[in-house]
Amino acid sequence: VSREKQAADTVVDIKGTLVGAVKPQVVAGPCSVESEEQVFEVARALKEQGIELMRGGAFKPRTSPYDFQGLGEEGLKIMRKAADEFGLKVISEIVNPADIEMAEQYVDVIQIGARNMQNFELLKAAGAARTPVLLKRGLSATIEEFLFAAEYILSGGNSQVILCERGIRTYERATRNTLDISAVPILKNESHLPVLVDITHSTGRRDILLPCARAALAAGADGIMLEVHPNPAVALSDAKQQIDIPTFDTFIKNLRASRLLDEKP
Ligand code: PEP
Ligand code: MN
């Protein structure tokens, strides 16, 4: 993953959508896939804004075993169907190495979540796959540990890896996690891999999404990730941090107005 090994930026090609090239990308979608209607509503909103990458969790790594665990393969099928209908690409988290082959039928990018950043068997399985991987920084991972986790995937033969800063654990409780904005230029300097910033999970706060997105892009991130839900109040996970579709539309318009995102294609 080191710049010393490869000086040129890696561009991850998600069936024609490039991450790490000139144009910053937006990855948006619900925390969890809940229903076909829900995902279709979000997919339509992304399409209308010219956003190409849709996220949505089907295998949810929840803190409590009593919380909604996701729809599993059924959820991936819904994501695929909606993405095909609106010409989008699918990013979804996989938690079990044995599910990667199954997931590759439906997803365009395999997400490895923060809680699994050091699940080495999962990293090896992702390295053996030929589907691009979005690797999130662990909750308490140093930048060095994060890059070693990515190294597992590349050393396994999969060069298509996107790094995602998603906030780290600190003593601060004003935000859900602490967005480590300095990780962005450090990762960009030390590694040739593209870097995204998840502004939703790092902050856990809708009211500061826009300035945090601006900061991420100004610091050199190749894109941002955020959670969008048609009706966040009734969401089965992360109800407090997802934004609704009108708020998303305004958010994207504001980023475009500050010229941190390209105009709608
Ligand atoms: C997610 O993106 O759905 C998620 C669970 O995030 P993280 O792994 O960063 O907590
Ligand atoms: Mn979430």
Counted domains in the chain? 1
CATH number for 96? 3.20.20.70
> Does residue 2 fall inside a structural domain?
no
> Does residue 264 fall inside a structural domain?
no
**% of the chain surpassing 90 pLDDT:** 99
Query: Of all protein residues, whose CA lies closest to atom 6 belonging to ligand 1?
Result: 113
> Does residue 130 fall inside a structural domain?
yes
**Protein residues with C-beta less than 5 angstroms from the ion ligand 2:** 31, 238
> Does residue 135 fall inside a structural domain?
yes
> Does residue 262 fall inside a structural domain?
no
Cα gap 105→154, rounded to integer Å: 22
Tokens of 112: 């490895």
> Does residue 65 fall inside a structural domain?
yes
- Assess whether the C-beta atom of 31 lies below 6 angstroms from ligand 1: yes
Q: What digits encode the pLDDT tens for the residues 170-186?
A: 999 999 999 999 999 99
**Residue 265: band (very low, low, confident or very high) from pLDDT cuts 50, 70, 90:** confident
Model confidence at 135: pLDDT above 90: yes
Domain residues for the domain of 234 are: 12-257
57 Cα nearest atom in ligand 1: 3
**Residue 240: band (very low, low, confident or very high) from pLDDT cuts 50, 70, 90:** very high
Q: What digits encode the pLDDT tens for the residues 39-66?
A: 999 999 999 999 999 999 999 999 999 9
pTM (two decimals): 0.98
> Does residue 137 fall inside a structural domain?
yes
> Does residue 41 fall inside a structural domain?
yes
